[in-house]
Amino acid sequence: MTGNNIKYYNELLEEDLTFISEQTKDILENFKYKTIFITGGTGFFGKWFLETFAYMNSKLNLNCNVIILSRNPEKFLKDYYYFGNNKQFKFIKGDVRNFEYPEEKIDFIIHAATEASEKLNNENPLLMFDTIIEGTRYVLDLAKEKKVKSFLFTSSGAVYGKQPSEMTHISEDYNGAPDCLNPKSAYGEGKRAAEMLCTLYFNQYSVPVKIARCFAFVGPYLPLNAHFAIGNFILNTLNGQNIIIKGDGTPYRSYLYAADLITWLLTILLKGENNKAYNVGSDRDITIKELAEKIQSFNTKIKVRVLKEAYNKVNVERYVPSISLIKDELSLNISYNLVKSIKRTINYYFNIKTL
């Protein structure tokens, strides 16, 4: 990697972290000299939280300590050694369902374990379900024991089940649910039951829970070889490969950039109403085919191919949130449009490839 590439790579992340700190500057003092416990600290969300707290400690002198739970911290720190060198970060090894509780006083918990893994959900849905339910209860018990100031649970838009095609944007008051007779609903049903656990711990033990129902995202650290269409398309573009859409390209999705995502999650943690769920995602919908074409425009040497003809242009599949609640109550807005979000993600991974 050339010196110019290294500089650009560092500047891109630093620009995003500066944006996050500026957007949350009125609430950051809440973290000063406090301790934050994070589950799922080595996933997509987790890496962004670690980058953010490291940046804020360095630039803003927050002096907050971060305890990170990981099943395999040694493996993670081989690739991200600089997190291990951070004196205010402490990694503990364990399963989210039965790890040894840290002795330190804990002020805030961000429970972001159990990412949406299509492979696990298909191959071992019972393990997926158990991990979500048992892990959430175990971490809520920790929150109760430590008397935390706030507990953020990263849930999912999957709790709504299949979005009705006539409903362009799904809101928090929609009472749909996953199909409990379909094993593939293990992830969504697990998150739904975990939200109930949060409510019960709030009502019975006054644990100050906040729930973020997360949809789809893009940005540095997004896995490009997982089941996320936007990541797969970006990988195709970087590798000079045609983008192949196995379906008909008509489903609607939306994507929020990672810097907006972390800004929103921190705001919910510190300003959200207890025992309340907020949709987190973009409300700017786009079809999968249109998404592929936008990404392909960054490499015009490749083409987009749709394998199936669109047979139903009325009852199309949708997975798009309404974000009126979070806009109105927490004054949050989308700052990165989709083209800018894609461009920043491509640039990040292009420079990583040249290392």
> Using CA atoms, how far apart are residues 262 and 21, in angstroms rounded to an integer?
10
Give the separation between CA 273 and CA 113, rounded to whole angstroms: 22
Instruction: Yes or no: say if 27 and 271 are a contact pair by the CB < 8 Å rule.
Output: yes
Instruction: Return the pLDDT at 355.
Output: 45
* pLDDT (average), residues 333-338: 98
Mean pLDDT of 103-122: 83
Q: Tell me the per-residue pLDDT of 5-41, one tens digit each, with 9 for 90 and over.
A: 555 567 899 999 999 999 999 999 999 999 999 999 9
pLDDT at position 354 over 70: no
Interatomic CA distance for residues 132 and 159, integer angstroms = 13
The larger pLDDT score, comparing residue 315 to residue 163, is at: 163
pLDDT tens, position by position, 30-71: 999 999 999 999 999 999 999 999 999 999 999 999 999 999
pLDDT the model gives residue 3: 40
| Backbone CA torsion sign across 135, 195, 164, 167 | negative
Residue 154, helix vs strand vs coil: strand
Residue 201 has pLDDT above 50, yes or no: yes
Looking at residue 277, what is its pLDDT?
98
Tens of pLDDT, residue by residue over 262-282, are 999 999 999 999 999 999 999
Residue 352: predicted pLDDT: 76
Domain boundaries, the chain: 3-220+256-282+319-337
Ordered DSSP codes for 66-96 = EEEEES-HHHHHHH-HHHHT-TTEEEEE--T
**Residue 351: band (very low, low, confident or very high) from pLDDT cuts 50, 70, 90:** confident
Give the chain's mean pLDDT. Answer: 93
Q: How many CB atoms lie within 10 A of CB 175?
A: 6
> Distance (Å, rounded) from C-alpha 266 to C-alpha 49?
9
Q: Give residue for tokens 């640039």.
A: 347
Residue 124 has pLDDT above 90, yes or no: no
pLDDT of residue 224: 94
Q: How far apart are CA 94 and CA 91, in angstroms?
A: 10
**pTM, full prediction:** 0.95
CATH classification (class only), 3-220+256-282+319-337: alpha beta
